[in-house]
Structure 1
Amino acid sequence: MSPGYGARVTEARTRTEHRGTRTDLAVVGAVVVLVAAAVVVGRMLVASDVELFLGWPPLLAQWLPHVGPGTPAAIVVAGAVAAWGPGLAARLRWAPLLWTGWAAAFAWTLSLALVDGWQRGVVERLTSGEEYLSDVPRVAELGGIGPMLRVFSDHILTTAVDPAQTWFWTTHVGGHPAGAFLLFTVLDRVGLGSGGAAGLVVMAVGSSAAVAVAVTLRALGHEDLARRVLPFSVLFPGAVWVGVSADGLFAGWLAWGVALLALAATRRSTPAAVGSGLLLGYTVYLSYGLVLGGLLPLAVLVATRRWRVLVPTVAGVLVVVAAFTAAGFWWFAGFADLRVIYAASAAATRPYSYFVWANLAALAFALGPAGVAALRRTPALPRAALLLVGAAVAAIALADLSGMSKAEVERIWLPFAVWATVACGALPHPRRWLVAQAVLALAVNHLLLTVW
């Protein structure tokens, strides 16, 4: 071997890495152009009296530069994770790492929410007239949880589509299966029904998705990748909407269903499989669109080839389906009513021709520059990770093309977006990309007032 061989190899690797980084930046630049186009075209549509019902298209937000009590904390958390996150993720023991990651993700989510203040940023998010908690008192009026579930579908349609309707659920209650409202009703029954308490629960569950993703990757045999991904899952820009929207809770719920399935498949654990089935079954009763989330557990099964785990998993799913059906809520009837009210809602004036591509610009705010750059590196991932990212991307594409997602996808697609972050494990120079993620999230939360 010649004396200069090692130097030439190092130089070649450096050139390759530089070319890869330039391509990453080019992808980010292209997405910035997409976002700019969505903003400009959105404003033009509003100026032409097209009702988008968005204050700052393509996002449901309004331009309002501000700071709040969460500003210093958010900056400190972002700086700490960017500076020390990759190092700690590489050397901490597994269990302490997971607890540390969850604590950091929760701190990041809460501090971002507090940029808008405790009242406006947390308490009022779930107590507005269109949200879940505003309808909780109706449960007592109906005679309890059982009677509520029996008549839930009877009050989905609004007077706009059914003039005979005496009263109807608020937008988010009626727009989702009964499972979502049931969760918030139970929170109220156990003393966590205030906007603040429920908001903290939502953020705790939503931020735990970072841990569930790591658990899944490790169960599939890729602990090194899980450790590289975790800091990106912690500084997930979509945390802006995890704090506080119910979709953040949905993201955590689905993520743990997938994680339990991965554990069940690799450890041949029947209890974990049944638990996964219960979580995954309940997931489709949280949001109709989360049926597409079924692509994620399918990716786990394809990756592990442990198809026998389907039997206890499906059994768990069927228990949930049977319970809701016996209680009086039929999923397909609720979905049929949803399609009716969706056609009569803001979606009627929101043009598909705009949102079919502007949705992707809105999603970019949740993924962040690292997320969009990393997607082009997906082929470099291990097979199992590639399948998970592919499942997330496929779910997003199907939701987008369906026409049932016109705007507000920065929160609606959170359950899929948290899995797209897996691709960030393939990025070089993680600290630089983590800084970029934090800067975007801080900019969004300080320059815009988001509804969630």
Structure 2
Amino acid sequence: MSGKAVVTVAEPRPDRTGTGPSRPAAKRVGWIAVAVWAAGVAAAFAVGWWRRQAGLATEDPLPPLFAHARFLSWQVLPAAGVAAFSVAALPTLTRRFAWRATLLVTWATAALWAVTLAASDGLDALTRPLKAPTEYLAGLPQLSPDPLSWLATFSDRLGGYTTQVRGHPPLPMLVLWLLQQAGLGGAGWAAVLLIGSGSSAVIAIAVTVRRLAGERVARTTLPFLALAPPALWVATTMDAFFLAAGAWGTALLAMAASRKSRLGGVPAAVLGGILLGALPYLSYGLLPLYAVPLAVVVLSRPRLRVLAALACGLVVVPALLTVGGFWWLDGVRATHATYLISRGSARRSFAYYAFADFAVLGLLTGPAVAHALPATLHTIWRSPRALISGIRAPDPIPGSMTDGPAERPILPVALLVGAALLGTLALDLSGVTKGEVERIWIPYAVWIIPAAALHRPPARGWLAAQALTALALQALVLSPW
């Protein structure tokens, strides 16, 4: 798309299928979902407070978050200013700017949003979390002088490493080591990597949505991605880098699957496969995230050569690390063993966190997504035939975003959202995640944000609600990340 692009929204249409809810009913269900969202978040904190007072939960200062309660006032004003300007300007800019310019503006906004939120605690808050003795940088000297020997003995010596290194495969450490070898060592450059890559995920997700659901829906999603509450932990946790790897791998797959891709999409498929193949070696908890690129495959039906190129890319990182001496299953076993003897996370209540972790996911996705989620999931429920055949289904509610009478793009968004939710459900019910999910959920939560595309633009009220959720969390919660 070139030049100024003006996007308009289709007028509401009556539901002629006889199966979709009426518009008033859809609104009512949406507001019920927001009430459930608020009640669930409040209940998670109330039960967490009660458990802590009763001596049943001493692992977390402010369950279900690994954080402390506090109060900021004027310190959040710069972030509030960014939010106010973005709420006013982004819905218009994302409709009128050329597509590439829109992506760059949104990326810059997302990065600025993350930085100003973190800077409410002072500029050193952008690097302070990375300097903690439990983090990756503290363990980086152990790779010297022989990183290959470190990799080959990683699982055997896991107990002697820092907390974050013990809880993850070796690839995050190798990424930081390569950054150091390039002359960009230290917490400052690590923060640049995490914030820059994590905020760039808004571009990757928008590109994916555009390929699957059309440019109009992608433009509607962009403001919500830019001001998403996960920005609180994009600056600065390594999970922001995990988000970027998964998002860009999926975006490259979506681009490769397009019939208009250059060279048949093979180069993009190989590169996307490399990034996606790295996911289990960045974090063991990223394995269920494969549901999202699988949804892209189901929706886009790529050519056989694209799938073959994707498969070649997928094996690159596993093959390199296996040849280097790291066997993934040994890493899983060693990490599980250190987890069981830890004094913290292993003692957390499964019953409480099975519920409370989803309350934290609700905080990360925000009230705008809560309002849109019932209609989003209803789309999947009423469209099993479309999921199998790849045909796009009708919109779930009259007045939803459409690209015209022949193209109904809500189903692709719904399937992406459903895939991310399925991944979080798998982690939650398996007990892999018990607490500290405010950062662990980040690679999943940002894929749920596109559900907000159901709100008719400019939707500034819902966008403001998302920003206020992040500001409230920043003002009331002090996170070590």
TM-score when normalising by structure 1: 0.91
Inter-partner Cα distance in structure 2 for 1:73 and 1:322 = 46
**Which contiguous aligned blocks of 4+ residues in structure 1 show a shift greater than 4 angstroms?**
9-13, 15-19
Deviations 1:7-59 (A, max 9, x none): xx98999x965554343222111111111111111111112222342111111
Match for residue 294 of structure 2? 298
- Assess, with a 3 A threshold, how the Cα gap between structure 1 residues 11 and 323 changes in structure 2: closer, same or farther: closer
Q: The residue matched to 2:175 in structure 1 has which SS?
A: helix
Match for residue 328 of structure 1? 325
Q: The residue matched to 2:156 in structure 1 has which SS?
A: helix
Counterpart mapping for 1:38-437 below 5 A: 38-67=44-73, 71-119=76-124, 121-140=125-144, 143-156=145-158, 158=159, 168-266=160-258, 267=261, 268-306=264-302, 308=304, 309-345=306-342, 346-378=344-376, 379=379, 380=396, 382-428=410-456, 430-437=459-466
- Worse overlay, 58-67 or 324-333: 58-67
Inter-partner Cα distance in structure 2 for 1:357 and 1:124 = 31
Inter-partner Cα distance in structure 1 for 2:346 and 2:165 = 20
Structure 1 residue 417: Cα displacement: 0.7
Q: The residue matched to 1:306 in structure 2 has which SS?
A: coil
Match for residue 41 of structure 2? 35
Inter-partner Cα distance in structure 2 for 1:66 and 1:392 = 33
Structure 1 residue 72: Cα displacement: 3.2
Structure 1 or 2: more helix by fraction: 1
Inter-partner Cα distance in structure 1 for 2:329 and 2:58 = 28
Match for residue 3 of structure 2? none
- Assess, with a 3 A threshold, how the Cα gap between structure 1 residues 351 and 148 changes in structure 2: closer, same or farther: same
Q: Is 2:59–2:345's contact at 8 Å kept on the other side of the alignment?
A: no
Deviations 1:318-344 (A, max 9, x none): 121110011111111101111112222
Deviations 1:390-439 (A, max 9, x none): 11010011011010100111210111111101110002361000100111
Q: The residue matched to 1:202 in structure 2 has which SS?
A: helix
Structure 2 residue identity aligned to 1:414:
I
- Assess, with a 3 A threshold, how the Cα gap between structure 1 residues 214 and 49 changes in structure 2: closer, same or farther: same
Q: Is 1:50–1:350's contact at 8 Å kept on the other side of the alignment?
A: no
Structure 1 residue identity aligned to 2:274:
L
Deviations 1:177-211 (A, max 9, x none): 11111111122222332222211210111111111
Inter-partner Cα distance in structure 2 for 1:40 and 1:290 = 30
Q: Is 1:98–1:211's contact at 8 Å kept on the other side of the alignment?
A: yes
1:450 aligns with 2:450: no
Q: Is 2:220–2:453's contact at 8 Å kept on the other side of the alignment?
A: yes
Q: Is 2:168–2:282's contact at 8 Å kept on the other side of the alignment?
A: yes
Q: Is 1:125–1:199's contact at 8 Å kept on the other side of the alignment?
A: no
CA RMSD of aligned residues (A): 1.9
Q: Is 1:277–1:313's contact at 8 Å kept on the other side of the alignment?
A: yes
Q: Is 2:213–2:410's contact at 8 Å kept on the other side of the alignment?
A: no
Q: The residue matched to 1:220 in structure 2 has which SS?
A: helix
Q: Is 1:67–1:116's contact at 8 Å kept on the other side of the alignment?
A: no
- Worse overlay, 376-385 or 276-285: 376-385
Deviations 1:257-314 (A, max 9, x none): 0000000111231000000011111122100111111111110100011252221111
Q: Runs of 5+ in structure 1 lacking a partner? A: 1-8, 159-167
Inter-partner Cα distance in structure 2 for 1:383 and 1:272 = 24
Structure 1 residue identity aligned to 2:107:
W
Deviations 1:330-379 (A, max 9, x none): 11110111111222222321110100001111111111111222211212
